[in-house]
């Protein structure tokens, strides 16, 4: 049985294309993605990807959705018992690792160029991805450890700080040996800003 018939029979062509697209994304960035090249890499006709992705933007949207789904799983795996600071540190470490390992995917995930068609689905994926951090902040608020306010607005500077740290590591501006120390310092600064004011 050929790869082509196996893909169609088992309905896994879409998953195969997404996996191959992520490899290309890592190697060549979003500019290197092409539906025609993906078809060649997957050993299917050049028209086959269009059955799953209308165009390159639809492929990028699918990659972003997949990325947010994976990020949700990463956060779920980072849930630990302990103080708010300990839980925040575990969540931050998980995000930082994901960001360092997937910089090209992260750029696609947070691009503002998603097609209008993906609006509701993308918003739901983002909400699901950040459910654990938002719940952690809300729990911290309920216990008086975090200032009152919208958890999303409170959490956004933390994500921005971690993304900046990941960018520094990815660019070589900061070495990996200092990462744990820098993360600890970043969390300490975030905690100082999150505490309720007297």
Domain boundaries, the chain: 1-53, 57-194
Which residue in the block uniquely carries the two structure tokens 């990020």? 71
Question: What CATH topology corresponds to 1-53?
Answer: Arc Repressor Mutant, subunit A (1.10.10)
Helix segments in the chain, DSSP class H:
3-10, 13-28, 35-42, 56-77, 84-101, 103-109, 119-129, 131-142, 151-171, 179-194
* Per-residue pLDDT tens over the stretch 139-174: 999 988 888 999 888 888 888 888 888 888 888 888
Going by the DSSP 8-state scheme, the letter that residue 172 receives in this structure is T
* Per-residue pLDDT tens over the stretch 33-71: 988 888 888 888 888 888 888 889 999 999 999 999 999
Half-sphere exposure of 133 (CA within 13 A, CB side): 28
Q: What is the token pair recorded at 9?
A: 């029979």
- How many Å apart are CA 132 and CA 6, to the nearest integer? 38
- What is the homologous superfamily of the domain 57-194 according to CATH? Tetracycline Repressor, domain 2 (1.10.357.10)
């Amino acid at each position: 049985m050929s790869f082509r018939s196996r893909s169609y029979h088992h309905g896994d062509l879409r998953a195969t294309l997404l996996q191959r697209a992520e490899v290309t994304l890592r190697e060549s960035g979003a500019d290197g993605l092409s539906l025609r090249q993906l078809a060649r890499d997957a050993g299917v006709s050049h028209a086959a990807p269009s059955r799953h992705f209308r165009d390159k933007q639809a492929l990028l949207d699918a990659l972003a959705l997949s990325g947010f789904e994976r990020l949700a799983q990463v956060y779920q795996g980072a849930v630990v018992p302990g103080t708010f600071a300990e839980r925040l540190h575990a969540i931050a470490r998980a995000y930082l690792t994901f960001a360092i390992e997937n910089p090209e995917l992260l750029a696609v995930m947070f691009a503002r160029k998603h097609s209008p068609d993906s609006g509701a689905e993308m918003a739901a994926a983002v909400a699901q991805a950040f459910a654990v951090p938002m719940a952690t902040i809300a729990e911290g608020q309920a216990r008086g450890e975090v200032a009152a306010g919208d958890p999303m607005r409170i959490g956004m500077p933390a994500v921005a700080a971690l993304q900046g740290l990941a960018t520094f590591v990815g660019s070589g501006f900061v070495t990996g040996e200092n990462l744990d120390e820098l993360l600890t310092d970043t969390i300490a600064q975030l905690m100082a800003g999150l505490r309720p004011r007297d």
